[in-house]
């Protein structure tokens, strides 16, 4: 049967191997092999079935093939069974899975029985029973094995192969059924046949049967023989089983030394076998023998080449020393664990062993600890610590856990300080390599508890709390406890003024609890307060910059308040320097602040502005304006507007302090920077112009107007009038005329313009024809009553002048005149010609123009004076003394009349001037004191005698 199976297997191999091109997976190969065998069986069955007359031999062959087919399906269905069993467990029913096997079994079983029935005396009878027995044993488990084996033995001779095989199977059956005596009986027969390769196996089974019968000597001998025979290739090698058995047998048989010797001489792996022997011996209480073997093995097992066995030895030693309470040895061998190369299983075992041990020790330590007087076994504590250290070394992934347990051990005996440190180590280890169990909360709770229990100095406690808080927040930044930890951590940092940490913790608090805004604002304020108190300006400025950027949504007022405080701190020193008369140093200080990047813009601006103010005080206008301008680059619009008010006041004050140039520059600075505030600028524009006027800088005034007039909503008429007046009063005549033209002031202020034109006209009248005609033209164009009066009356006066000039030239030539009547006639004509002139003069007087009237009086005074002289000068060449006397008297009388008239004109002119208080600039002959003035013009220059009224009332 076995030969057939081997044949079929070989065939299947060759069939599979021949056409193979592609490499098959093991499953595919196995499947192909199975199919091939099945095919071969089926082909052979088919061949037998095709035979018309089937002999007993062929039918017996058919029975064998059916049995082979059962085996083939058993193999297949067993795989399915194992697979399903793995998936579904015990729910899987054998009957369901082995359906085909059982079906084929039943078919073969029926076929075999039928064959026996058909051929009761056939030579294959014993073989058929034997096959039926094996089929029952291997495929059906229907307890028919024993019966069929007995029938096979009964129907075969003692020398036959079937008989031997059936008896061996029967011995094995009894062996398996633990029917030791029956088994020994069958083996005693079977073992007579040493020509069986299974003889070694049979000896092994026989030895076990003898052991069970307490026949240790035979048992040991059988197994030793089995072991030795196994070395022979003829026999099946059962040395492993034999050695396993022997190890037990030597111990049970109290022949440990024999065992050591046998092992040393025969064992394949002597050290392993010896270790097993020691293990068995130890288990049975043979400590001395065990220790002896251990000592032997310690020197024999190479820890590197036989690492696994070496590890087994150490683990075994641990067990032995623990079992036999060899404490020191136990600790010593455990200390070797970290250097021992355990495989996974061994490591797990080692960990479990040590854990159990240390756990027990912890219980003992705690149980013995007296809370009252704090007494405990320090050696036990040290041992526990050592064991945990060993565990950490053996099982590094769980180091965090062992540290935690270690810390717990310290804590249990109130050694809070080492406990605290160890909990911290546990956390560190957990962070590096998390243990299976999440220890973080346990560790941190314990740490908080330790901190509470340890009497720390304040600073030490703060450090520990910082560690604990920080750790906690790193793990659970958003849980409920964290919400209360953030402020506490912040407070811790606050005590030491660790501002960077304060900020960091606050930032995290904000990120995780945005709903705590008010609390966070309070914390930030507290920080600001400390910075202010300590005058930490750099940091304070950073904080304020943060606030400005919207950090924690502080109200603008509050931000501004902080800025002001910072500015006060920063600037206080500089202000003192300035007050102490060291403005240069103050300027340097402000400059430093202004150019420091980290200060908020408002501070930079304020520094620049303060510099501007110092430069203003130093009368350094250029720098003052430069720095005001720089400040405006940093101020917000609102701040600029606030500064505008200040600068307006400053400009005003500067003007009040007589520095009109500086004041004007400040005004213009405001106009430039607030050009769009056109309504408000009217006042500043006016001030700028007025300040320039105060210095009589009319070019600057013009520039100011040109440059900034687009920055005002209107150019006030009052200012125009002021400018016009200024130009006039200060003799800026060209500018005045341009200004009048540009702003059409002749329309807005016609009275004033006409007045100014006329005054200028009289100033230039007769001495500057260009200006004279220019002004006359303007007066004519004005169409103003006063202007028209001048332009109308002036030609009349000039015409009169022409007539008088002509008249004055018409004196009577007297040379050769001998007839007084002729002279008298001519004189009458000449004097008669005066009347129309006087009428013309009267006409001019009637116009009512003061200055021209005075000029007419001048002309008439001159005329009468001329006529008086003319009359006095007339002489006639008549040689008659009486005539001459009479003629002279008459001429003198006429002259006197004219002189009287002249004086009369002077009085009239004076009367006119007095009456109207005329301030005429053109007055000569008609002046009452013209005689004196002709000698020397002693009229006082008014300004020379003008007296200021300084003392007041």
Partner 1 sequence: MRLLLDWDYRMKLLMIGVIFGLVSCASHKNPRGIKEANLDGLKYESLTRYDSLRLDPNLKLKSELALCHNENYDEAFDKFKAKLDKNLNNYLYWNQISTCYILKKEYSKAKNFLELAMAQAKTNKQKAVVLNNMGVVYLEKKNYHEAKEVFKEAIKLNGDTLTPRFNLVQIYLHFGIYERAEKELVVLLQKAPTDIDFLNSLAHVKLMKKDYKTALVYFNRIPKQYRSRDDVATNLAMTYYMLGLFEDAKKTLSNADKSNSSYVSRQLDITKRLEKVDGK
Between 403 and 925, whose beta carbon lies closer to partner 1?
925
**Binding segment (CB under 8 A) for partner 1, from list 22-30, 218-226, 466-474, 691-699:** 691-699
d(CA 566, CA 546): 14
Minimum Å gap between C-beta 933 and partner 1 is 9
CB of 728 to partner 1, least distance (A): 8
> 897 or 910: whose CB is closer to partner 1?
910
The C-alpha torsion from 455 through 460 and 462 to 467, rounded to 10°, is: -110
Residue in 693, 762, 802, 867 binding partner 1, rule: CB under 8 A = 693
Q: Which member of 375, 511, 657, 889 binds partner 1 (CB under 8 A)?
A: 657
715-734 mask for partner 1 (x: CB under 8 A)?
-----------x-xxxx---
By the rule CB under 8 A, 298 interacts with partner 1 = no
For residues 318 and 660, which CB has a smaller minimum distance to partner 1 in the complex?
660
Q: Is 910 in the site for partner 1 (CB under 8 A)?
A: yes
CA distance 309 to 847: 151
Question: Does 941 sit near partner 1 (CB under 8 A)?
Answer: yes
Task: Report in angstroms the alpha-carbon separations of 655 from 243, 576, 663, 692, 727.
Answer: 123, 26, 5, 10, 21
Mention every residue, 6+ apart, whose C-beta is less than 8 A from residue 229.
Answer: 199, 200, 203, 235
The C-alpha angle 920, 924, 929, rounded to 5 degrees, equals: 100
Element (H, E) at 173: helix 161-176
Residue 908 found at the interface with partner 1 (CB under 8 A): no
Work out which of 23, 95, 304, 919 binds partner 1, going by CB under 8 A. Answer: 919
Residue 932 binding partner 1, by CB under 8 A? yes
Contact call for residue 52 and partner 1 (CB under 8 A): no
Q: What token pair was written down for 211?
A: 């052991």
CB 917 within 8 A of CB 882: no
* 699 is a site residue for partner 1 (CB under 8 A): no
Separation of alpha carbons 36 and 68, rounded Å: 13
- Determine the Cα–Cα distance for residues 892 and 873; give it in Å rounded to an integer: 9
Least distance to partner 1 from the beta carbon of 771, Å?
17
**Positive or negative torsion for Cα 184, 188, 189, 191:** positive
Distance CA(928)–CA(942), nearest Å, equals 19
Q: Output 523 or 701, the one with its CB closest to partner 1.
A: 701
Least separation, in Å, of the C-beta of 505 and partner 1? Answer: 52
Is residue 396 classed exposed, middle or buried when 0-12, 13-18 and 19+ CB atoms within 10 A define those classes? middle
Q: How far is the CB of 665 from partner 1 (least distance, A)?
A: 17
Q: Which of 48, 569, 694, 812 binds partner 1 (CB under 8 A)?
A: 694
**Contact residue for partner 1 among 142, 298, 696, 751 (CB under 8 A):** 696
- Of 236, 234, 206, nearest to 221 by C-alpha is 206
Question: Nearest CA to 844 among 792, 919, 918?
Answer: 792
Shortest Å, Cβ 868 to partner 1: 18
Residue showing tokens 């299976």 = 436
Selected range binding partner 1 among 122-130, 485-493, 598-606, 688-696, rule: CB under 8 A = 688-696
Q: Which of 602, 690, 793, 861: binder of partner 1 (CB under 8 A)?
A: 690
375: β partners: 370
Is position 928 an interface residue for partner 1 (rule: CB under 8 A)? yes
CB of 916 to partner 1, least distance (A): 9
Q: Residue 846: how many CA atoms within 13 Å on its side-chain side?
A: 7
Q: Which is nearer to partner 1, 166 or 779 (CB)?
A: 779
The site that binds partner 1 (CB under 8 A) totals a number of residues, namely: 49
Question: How is residue 72 written in tokens?
Answer: 């083939």
Q: Which stretch binds partner 1 (CB under 8 A): 133-141, 188-196, 862-870, 945-953?
A: 945-953
Distances (CA, A) of 701 to 308, 616, 742: 108, 21, 14
Q: What share of the chain is helix, strand, coil (3-state, %, to 5)?
A: 80, 0, 20
User: What are the CA-CA distances from residue 190 to residues 144, 169, 201, 202, 274 (Å)?
Assistant: 22, 10, 11, 8, 32
247/219 Cα distance (integer angstroms): 12
When the beta carbons of 877 and 911 are compared against partner 1, the nearer one is 911
Does residue number 46 form part of the binding site for partner 1 (CB under 8 A)? no
One residue of 273, 660, 682, 789 binding partner 1 per CB under 8 A? 660
Q: Does 661 bind partner 1 (CB under 8 A)?
A: no
Selected range binding partner 1 among 112-120, 595-603, 694-702, 713-721, rule: CB under 8 A:
694-702
| Secondary structure element (H or E) that encloses residue 171, with its range | helix 161-176
Nearer to partner 1, 17 or 935 (CB): 935
| Least spacing, CB of residue 655 vs partner 1, in Å | 8
Q: Is 949 in the site for partner 1 (CB under 8 A)?
A: yes
* Torsion angle in degrees (nearest 10) through CA of 40, 45, 49, 52: 80
660-697 burial code (b ≥16 CB/10 A, e <16) = bbbbbbbbbbbbebbeebeebbbebbbbbbbbbbbeeb
HEC letters along 465-523: HHHHHHHHHHHCCCCHHHHHHHHHHHHHHHHHCCHHHHHHHHHHHHHHCHHHHHHHHHH
Residue 23 lies near partner 1 (rule: CB under 8 A): no
CA atoms within 13 A on the CB side of 43: 9
Of 741-760, binders to partner 1 (CB under 8 A) are 759
Q: Does 952 bind partner 1 (CB under 8 A)?
A: yes
Smallest distance, Å, CB 953 to partner 1? Answer: 4
What's the closest the beta carbon of residue 943 comes to partner 1, in angstroms?
Answer: 4
CB nearer partner 1, residue 95 or residue 946: 946
Question: Residue 522 or residue 751: which is nearer to partner 1 going by CB?
Answer: 751
Stretch that binds partner 1, among 25-33, 49-57, 891-899, 923-931 (CB under 8 A): 923-931
Closest CB to partner 1 among 356 and 928? Answer: 928
- Cβ proximity to partner 1, 888 vs 907, nearer residue: 907
Does position 918 interact with partner 1 (CB under 8 A)? The reply is: yes
Concatenating the DSSP letter of every residue in 706-758 gives: HHHGGGSS---HHHHHHHHHHHHHTT-HHHHHHHHHHHTHHHHSHHHHHHHHH
Question: CB count, 10 Å around CB of 924?
Answer: 15
Instruction: Report if residue 913 touches partner 1, rule: CB under 8 A.
Output: yes
For partner 1, the closer CB: 277 or 650: 650
Site for partner 1 in 757-816 (CB under 8 A): 759
Shortest distance, position 851 Cβ to partner 1, whole Å: 12
Smallest distance, partner 1 to C-beta of residue 458, A: 55
* Minimum distance from residue 950 beta carbon to partner 1 (Å): 4
Nearer to partner 1, 311 or 613 (CB): 613
Cα–Cα distance measured from residue 741 to residue 809, given in angstroms and rounded to the nearest whole number: 45
**Rule CB under 8 A: is residue 900 a binding residue for partner 1?**
no
Least distance CB 538 / partner 1 (angstroms)? 37
937 binds partner 1, rule: CB under 8 A: yes
Rounded CA separation 330/777 (Å): 135
Q: In angstroms, give the least distance from the CB of 928 to partner 1.
A: 6
Q: Does 379 sit near partner 1 (CB under 8 A)?
A: no
- Token reading at 275: 């270790």
User: Interface with partner 1 by CB under 8 A: which residues?
Assistant: 653, 655-658, 660, 690, 693-696, 726, 728-731, 759, 910, 913-914, 917-920, 923, 927-929, 931-932, 935-953
């Amino acid at each position: 049967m076995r030969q057939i199976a081997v044949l079929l297997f070989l065939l299947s191999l060759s069939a599979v191997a021949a056409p193979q091109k592609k490499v098959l997976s093991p499953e595919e190969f196995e499947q192909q092999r199975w199919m091939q065998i099945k095919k071969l069986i089926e082909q052979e069955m088919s061949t037998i079935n095709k035979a018309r007359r089937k002999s007993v031999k062929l039918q017996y062959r058919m029975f064998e093939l059916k049995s082979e087919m059962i085996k083939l399906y058993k193999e297949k269905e067993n795989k399915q069974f194992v697979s399903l069993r793995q998936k579904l467990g015990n729910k899987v029913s054998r009957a369901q899975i082995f359906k085909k096997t059982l079906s084929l079994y039943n078919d073969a079983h029926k076929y075999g029985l039928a064959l026996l029935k058909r051929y009761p005396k056939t030579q294959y009878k014993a073989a058929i029973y034997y096959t039926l027995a094996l089929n029952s044993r291997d495929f059906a488990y229907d307890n028919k094995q024993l019966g069929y084996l007995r029938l096979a033995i009964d129907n075969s001779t003692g020398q036959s192969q079937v008989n031997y095989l059936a008896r061996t199977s029967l011995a094995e059956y009894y062996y398996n059924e633990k029917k030791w005596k029956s088994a020994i009986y069958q083996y005693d027969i079977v073992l007579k046949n040493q020509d069986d390769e299974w003889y070694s196996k049979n000896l092994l089974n026989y030895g076990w049967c003898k052991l069970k019968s307490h026949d240790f000597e035979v048992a040991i001998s059988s197994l030793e023989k089995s072991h030795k025979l196994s070395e022979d290739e003829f026999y099946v090698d059962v040395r492993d089983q034999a050695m396993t058995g022997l190890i037990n047998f030597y111990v049970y048989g109290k022949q440990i030394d024999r065992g050591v010797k046998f092992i040393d001489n025969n064992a394949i792996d002597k050290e392993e076998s010896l270790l097993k022997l020691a293990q068995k011996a130890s288990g049975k209480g043979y400590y001395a023998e065990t220790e002896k073997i251990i000592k032997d093995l310690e020197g024999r097992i190479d820890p590197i080449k036989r690492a696994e066995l070496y590890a087994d030895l150490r683990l075994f030693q641990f067990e032995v020393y623990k079992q036999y309470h060899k404490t020191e040895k136990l600790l010593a061998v455990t200390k070797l664990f970290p250097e021992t190369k355990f495989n996974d299983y061994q490591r797990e075992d080692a960990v479990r062993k040590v854990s159990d041990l240390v756990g027990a020790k912890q219980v003992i330590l705690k149980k013995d600890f007296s809370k009252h007087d704090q007494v405990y076994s320090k050696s036990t504590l040290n041992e526990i610590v050592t064991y945990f250290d060993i565990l950490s070394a053996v099982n590094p992934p769980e180091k965090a856990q062992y540290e935690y347990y270690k810390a717990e051990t310290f804590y249990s005996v109130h050694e809070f300080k080492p406990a605290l440190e160890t909990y911290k180590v546990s956390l560190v280890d957990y962070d590096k390599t998390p243990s299976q169990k999440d220890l973080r909360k346990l560790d941190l709770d314990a740490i908080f508890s330790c901190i509470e229990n340890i009497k720390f100095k304040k600073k030490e406690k703060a450090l520990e709390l910082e560690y604990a808080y920080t750790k906690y927040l790193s793990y659970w930044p958003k849980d409920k406890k964290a919400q209360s930890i953030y402020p506490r951590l912040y407070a811790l940092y606050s005590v030491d003024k660790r501002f960077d940490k304060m900020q960091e913790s606050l930032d995290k608090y904000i990120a995780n609890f945005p709903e705590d805004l008010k609390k966070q604002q309070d914390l930030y304020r507290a920080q600001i307060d400390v910075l202010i108190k300590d005058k930490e300006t750099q940091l304070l400025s950073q904080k304020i910059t943060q606030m400005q950027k919207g950090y924690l949504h502080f109200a603008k007022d509050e931000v501004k308040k902080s800025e002001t405080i910072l500015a006060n701190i920063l600037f206080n020193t500089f202000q003192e320097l300035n007050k102490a008369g060291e403005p240069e140093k103050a300027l340097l200080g402000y400059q430093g602040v202004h150019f420091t990047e980290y200060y908020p813009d408002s501070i930079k601006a304020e520094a620049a502005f303060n510099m501007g103010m110092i430069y203003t005080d130093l009368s350094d206008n250029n720098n003052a304006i430069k720095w005001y301008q720089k400040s405006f680059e940093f101020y917000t619009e609102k701040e600029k507007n606030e500064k505008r008010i200040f600068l307006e006041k400053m400009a005003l004050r500067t003007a009040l302090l007589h520095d009109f140039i500086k004041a004007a520059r400040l005004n213009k600075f405001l106009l430039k920077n607030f050009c769009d505030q056109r309504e408000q600028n009217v006042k500043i524009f006016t001030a700028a112009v007025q300040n320039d006027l105060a210095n009589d800088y009319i070019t600057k005034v013009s520039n100011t107007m040109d440059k900034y007039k687009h920055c005002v909503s209107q150019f006030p008429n009052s200012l125009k009038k002021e400018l016009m007046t200024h130009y006039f009063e200060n003799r800026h005549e060209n500018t005045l005329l341009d200004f009048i033209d540009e702003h059409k002031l002749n329309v807005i202020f016609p009275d004033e313009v006409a007045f100014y034109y006329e005054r200028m006209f009289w100033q230039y009248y007769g001495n500057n024809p260009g200006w004279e005609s220019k002004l006359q033209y303007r007066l004519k164009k004005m169409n103003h009553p006063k202007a028209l009066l001048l332009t109308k009356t002036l030609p009349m006066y000039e015409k009169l002048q022409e007539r008088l000039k002509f008249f004055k030239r018409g004196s009577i030539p007297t040379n050769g005149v001998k007839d007084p009547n002729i002279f008298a006639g001519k004189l009458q004509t000449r004097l008669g010609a005066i009347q129309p002139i006087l009428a013309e003069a009267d006409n001019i007087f009637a116009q009512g123009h003061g200055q021209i009237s005075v000029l007419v009086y001048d002309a008439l005074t001159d005329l009468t004076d001329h006529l008086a002289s003319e009359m006095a000068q007339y002489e006639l060449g008549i040689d008659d003394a009486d005539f001459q006397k009479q003629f002279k008297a008459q001429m003198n009388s006429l002259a006197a009349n004219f002189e009287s008239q002249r004086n009369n004109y002077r009085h009239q002119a004076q009367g006119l001037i007095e009456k109207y208080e005329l301030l005429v600039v053109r007055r000569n002959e008609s002046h009452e004191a013209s005689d004196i003035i002709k000698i020397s013009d002693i009229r006082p220059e008014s300004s020379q005698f003008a007296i200021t009224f300084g003392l007041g009332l």
